[in-house]
Amino acid sequence: MRSPEPRPVAVLVDAYTTGNHLPPAFAKLGVDVVHVQSSPELMTSMRLPDLTAYRAVVPYGTPAETAARLAEFAPICVVAGQEPGVPLADELSELLALPGNGTAQSVARRDKYEMIEALRRAGVRCAEQFKSDDAEELVAWAEHRGSYPVVVKPMSSAASDGVAICNGPEEVRKAAEAVLGTVNIFHERNDEVLIQSFLQGEEYMVDFVSYGGERHACGIWQYHKRLKGTHRIYDRDSITPPDSGPGPAIIAYMHEALDALGIQYGPTHAEVIVTPEGPTLVEVGARLSGGLLPDFHDICLGGNQADVTALAYARPQEFLDRYAGGTYRKLTHATWILAATDLDGMVESIDADVVAEIEALPTVHTFVPKLAPGKRIRPTVDLYTATFAVHLCDASAEAVERDYARIQELKDRVYRLRDDAGAAA
């Protein structure tokens, strides 16, 4: 009797957070996965990969050493599971002669300054910008430009980490000094700070999957944020139809932007602001969306980015036949809430009755707490300091709005805090 053919293998680099959706997506197609991490130690600032889902875990090493180990598995692809893994995934796919974006523009896919400069060189609409390791030079650039607000941010991070909207020189100075010398969520030191012109307009989250330069638009969601001091705080998002409103212009613009950055393969997650001049890139990551929830997206959009990514690599012709040149569909009304707070203290417990009331709301699909007893709750300044996430969907827009309003009333009752004496408050 002939032994069964070995299952094909996909390599995932740094499959943190939503990268955890890739192993089951590949498994559905009969593909095993092998994990590689780009750092000597796992990055505990993000949700860790479930290493039990992998055929093997290749230890950290040089790209050449890692490629040699991976060659034993005869992999079909190398995919970045999260932002820090993008450069290594580019290098490994190149060393193993696999479909990938190559290393020529890897820096522009991680460094936010180089990213925008790549667009500028390609003639693609983009922000004005300047970078420096000196707060006073950043202030001088803003003052010479003579127009506020401006945006100050780390060179390489995510989830609005360290991003500030500044309306004057003192705010620029304070924001720059708050970033310089710190370490971002990917354990990288912020030796320089980026300052950019403020893009006026509505902001959208835009997700694609590419293979050989052929692309599928997986979703466009409009962000709804509010300004809190110098920070724009996430509130919720809503689906933008692909064939009306700003949808077609955003999709056309993203093809130009991805081409300018040399992204011809794999998933991408971008933020775009529709300015009076047209869609303009804030930034793009060559990895899955941080907001991906596969079953929720299946209901709302008719598919999800993890499954489409796996299909593109495992069965390229099927991807090209079914998805290339196409877009998602808006199948229902939906929103993703990221709860903000002004609370500051230690979490004593989660109020089960309040959680039960939220989960019982008719439009609620998923409730995800982000804090556990013993953890610190802080006033929200970015995605990572949101206190919980809730996904809502329904055929009725009014029902979604009703339940959204009720969740806003309940949001600060989810966590019971300790008082100064250590008793529950």
Domains, the chain: 9-95 (3.40.50.20), 128-197 (3.30.1490.20), 334-417 (3.90.1170.30)
pLDDT, position 423: 41
CB 155 within 8 A of CB 190: yes
Residue ranges of alpha helices (H) inside 261-304 are: 294-301
| Cβ proximity of 197 and 147 under 8 Å | yes
pLDDT at position 233 is 73
Helix/strand number for the chain, H first, E second = 12, 19
Sign of CA dihedral 248, 249, 254, 260: positive
Q: What is the pTM assigned to this prediction?
A: 0.89
| DSSP codes of every residue in 322-387 | HTTT-B----SEEEEEE------EEEEEE-HHHHHHHHHSTTEEEEEE---TTPEE----SGGG--
What local confidence, expressed as pLDDT, does residue 422 receive?
A: 44
Regions of the chain with pLDDT less than 50: 1, 159, 421-425
Residue pair 345/415 in contact by the 8 Å Cβ criterion: no
- Give the pLDDT confidence score for residue 154 in this predicted structure: 85
pLDDT of res. 230? 59
Amino acid at 414: V
**Within its chain, how far is the Cα of 211 from the centroid?**
20
